[in-house]
Amino acid sequence: MATLIAPINHSPVADAEALHGAFKGWGTDEKSVITILGHRNVYQRQQIRKSYQEIYQEDILKRLESELSGDFERAVYRWMLEPADRDAVLANVAIKDGSKSYHVIIEIVSVLSPEEVLAMRRAYHNRYKHSLEEDLAAHTTGHLRQLLVGLVTSFRYGGAEINPKLAKTEADILHESIKEKKGNHEEAIRILTTRSKTQLLATFNRYRDDHGISITKKLLDNASDDFHKALHTTIRCINDHKKYYEKILRGALKRVGTDEDGLTRVVVTRAEKDLKDIKELYYKRNSVHLEDAVAKEISGDYKKFILTLLGKQD
């Protein structure tokens, strides 16, 4: 379930005019920016952008970039982008960051539906004038390259059918690949990049039944290099993406110096989807409400905006 609280009736023209007013004079009225944009769904935000362009002949995104700053600006900017475009930006930033951020690309393409992955790849073309897969291939080598390029170019079947015999065979293949550092990684890559999510869940369950340990726990023991870390992230995201996101939030808030990028990414991308479920998981795991943990770790307008997206009422 989503955390976003958006009005049913809203006027994009009135919102555009109010935002223009917030940008006028000395300093920006950040409270108005948060109150309006923090309570509008994706369709409403695109309508505001369109109205602002028509009335003032200016892209509101450019205006927001110049009026806001720091983590607050980054969060608002990403919130204002269409989802496919936002995912393209996140993927591009991750590629530039190198191996420490490849999990972001895996997260995006493993959680999205096949149609959404295709839309994100199109948005990447339009924005960067080359393909996501060519950029990934240029920055990676070996098995890691095969896995990442395979994941972003995959168009998985989305049905509910399961082949139990195949689940057994492929659970064994994955076991061998993880157990042996020089195992048959090509086969593991083939399975993870081509099978439907439903089939893969059956395979992961079969792995646990046959080996008495979840595949993610087994991989964690062996995840010493970038490839095995990427395998681990792929399986975690496909297996239970909400639990994966809870862990990202926990890591972002508990480390020394908050990981604002991780916090922003999860809140902005999930607020209209399943952030309420992720919040509940966070509370179960940490015995503290996500809003309280966030309020303690960050400050200022960034804090107010993130708390708004988390569904906290003023």
List, in sequence order, every beta strand (DSSP E) within the chain: none
Task: Say what the pLDDT of residue 182 is.
Answer: 63
23 is in an annotated binding site: yes
Q: Which class does domain 242-310 fall in?
A: mainly alpha
Q: In terms of C-beta density within 10 A (0-12 exposed, 13-18 middle, 19 or more buried), how is residue 273 classed?
A: middle
Distance CA 41, CA 307 (A): 16
Asked whether the beta carbons of 83 and 42 are under 8 A apart, the reply is yes
Average pLDDT over residues 150-158: 96
End-to-end Cα spacing for the chain? 21
Q: What is the mean pLDDT of residues 82-103?
A: 95
The fraction of the chain above a pLDDT of 70, given in percent, is 97
Establish whether 158 is an annotated binding residue. Answer: no
What six digits make up the tokens of 265? 């990414």
The confidence score (pLDDT) of residue 5 equals 85
Q: For the chain, what's the residue count?
A: 314
3-class SS of residue 310: coil
232-260: b (≥16 Cβ within 10 Å) or e: bbbbbbbbebbebbbebbbebbeeeebbb
Q: Considering the domain delimited by 12-68, tell me its CATH architecture.
A: Orthogonal Bundle (1.10)
Closest CA to 294 of 271, 269, 268, 260: 260
Cα dihedral angle (40, 43, 47, 50), rounded to 10 degrees? 120
DSSP, res 101: G
pLDDT at 11: 96
pLDDT of 314: 59
**Average pLDDT in the 12-29 region?**
93
Q: Is 27 annotated as a binding residue?
A: yes
| Residue that wins the pLDDT comparison between 91 and 218 | 91
State the fold for domain 83-153.
Annexin V; domain 1 (1.10.220)
- Angle between helix axes 70-80 and 300-309 (nearest 10 degrees) is 30
d(CA 38, CA 4): 8
Q: Is 204 annotated as a binding residue?
A: no
Residue 299 binned pLDDT confidence (cut-offs 50, 70, 90): very high
58 assigned ligand-binding residue:
no
Are the beta carbons of 67 and 35 closer than 8 angstroms?
A: no
Task: Examine domains 164-239 and 242-310 and report if their fold is the same.
Answer: yes
Domain map (residue ranges) of the chain: 12-68, 83-153, 164-239, 242-310
Domain with residues 164-239, CATH architecture: Orthogonal Bundle (1.10)
Output b/e per residue, 54-68; b: 16+ Cβ within 10 A.
eeeeeebeebbeebb
User: What does the alpha-carbon distance between residue 169 and residue 150 come to, in Å, rounded to a whole number?
Assistant: 21
- Mean pLDDT, rounded, for 89-105: 94
Which tokens in the block code for residue 44? 């409403």
User: Of 160, 239, 146, 236, whose CA–CA distance to 189 is shortest?
Assistant: 146
Q: What share of the chain is helix, strand, coil (3-state, %, to 5)?
A: 75, 0, 25
Please, which contacts does 206-210 make with residues 24 or more away whose CB atoms are closer than 8 Å?
206/164, 206/167, 206/168, 206/171, 207/171, 207/174, 207/175, 210/168, 210/171, 210/172, 210/175
- Write down the mean pLDDT value for the chain: 94
Report helix, strand or coil for 298.
Answer: coil
Does 115 appear as a known binding residue? no
* Amino acid letter, 102: Y
Q: What is the pLDDT of residue 205?
A: 97
Q: Are 310 and 272 in contact (CB under 8 A)?
A: no
